[in-house]
Amino acid sequence: MPLVGTREMFKQAYDGGYAVGAFNVNNMELLQAIADAGHEERAPLILQVSSGARKYARREYLTHLVRAAVETYPDLPIALHLDHGDTFELCQACVDDGFSSVMIDASHFPFDENVALTKKVVEYAHRHNVPVEAELGALTSTSDEPGAREAVYTDPDEAKKFVELTGIDSLAISIGTSHGAYKFKGEPTLDFPRLERIQALLPGFPIVLHGASSVPKNLVDICNAYGGKLPGTRGVPEEFLARASKMAVCKVNVDTDLRIALTGAIRKVFAESPSEFDPRKYLGPARDAVREVVRGKVRLFGCAGKA
């Protein structure tokens, strides 16, 4: 099976009441872990490549690694997605490189500028049958200042207008998630009434949650037990993600949890075997740790067994 786009993937997810896991890829071990987990759980996968990952791993290497994963598991639906593309040129290059989905993130611009840039990407990508994700709102929700969250959360009426003006295929919204390992200062909360309003205004339309890592305590504890310094981390509670996945959310992004699992496993090997210098001996266990995280995520999102 060649790389698949996300249109049909999201339609099946929306109709089936589950979300597809979107996992960030930076190197071979992460890619192998994600692909192996998807195969074991029979779950469709979205492999995400950010601009930074594309530079770090080099576009030629990444695309060939992804092709190897597709050839290894030919019956597994796999999409290759540009995460947080910030320019038309980057989105264009990824479409030309064979990505089966791209994201243009112009959410930092005023509404009209966001629309204009997004529409330009949509016009180019759709000519190549590549679906486009965009973003409205901002993932800066940790402030408890009065009105701060309302100022950055996605406005439901604007979301409807944005989709109609741009012709995008999915929309990343802000309802309380944020990037990194420190997502909440107080009690974790997601604005489900806002999600319900967006869902009502855009029936059948796929919504995306960014910054949706749970930052599990057991992973953080392993990291900290072997020399890490990650105090006071707060992620999105798993029950929130399970609930959102049964609603209009068809794609849930995960990156931080993979990084913590990978780093914790490597730290453990170095601490217990300080003379070890064979990369296979510490990257192997790291790969295994990431695979187990991904297996748990696809079960949580409800997409296990859907491939």
pLDDT band at 183 (very low <50, low <70, confident <90, very high): confident
At a CB cut-off of 8 Å and minimum separation 6, what does 259 contact? none
In a domain, 2, yes or no: no
Q: Report if residue 306 sits inside a domain.
A: no
Domain assignment of residue 44, yes or no: yes
* Catalytic residue selected from 83, 169, 255, 257: 83
| Residue 199 lies in domain | 7-301
Domains held by the chain: number: 1
Residue 1 within a domain: no
CATH of the domain at 73: 3.20.20.70
Whether residue 169 contacts residue 6, with contact meaning beta carbons closer than 8 Å, is answered with yes
Which tens digit of pLDDT belongs to each residue from 113-169? 999 999 999 999 999 999 999 999 877 544 444 445 556 899 999 999 999 999 999
Per-chain mean pLDDT for the chain: 94
Considering the domain boundaries, does residue 123 fall inside one? yes
Identify the band that residue 190 occupies on the pLDDT scale cut at 50, 70 and 90: very high
Q: Which of 66-70, 150-154, 251-255 has the lowest mean pLDDT?
A: 150-154
Angle (CA) 247-142-254 rounded to 5° is 50
112 is catalytic: no
Whether residue 307 is contained in a domain is answered as no
Which percentage of the chain shows pLDDT scores above 90?
Answer: 89
Task: Dump pLDDT digits (tens) for 3-51.
Answer: 999 999 999 999 999 999 999 999 999 999 999 999 999 999 999 999 9
Position 219 scores a pLDDT of 96
With respect to residue 111, please indicate whether it lies within any of the assigned structural domains. yes
Q: Is the separation of the CB atoms in 207 and 269 below 8 Å?
A: no
* pLDDT given at position 150: 56
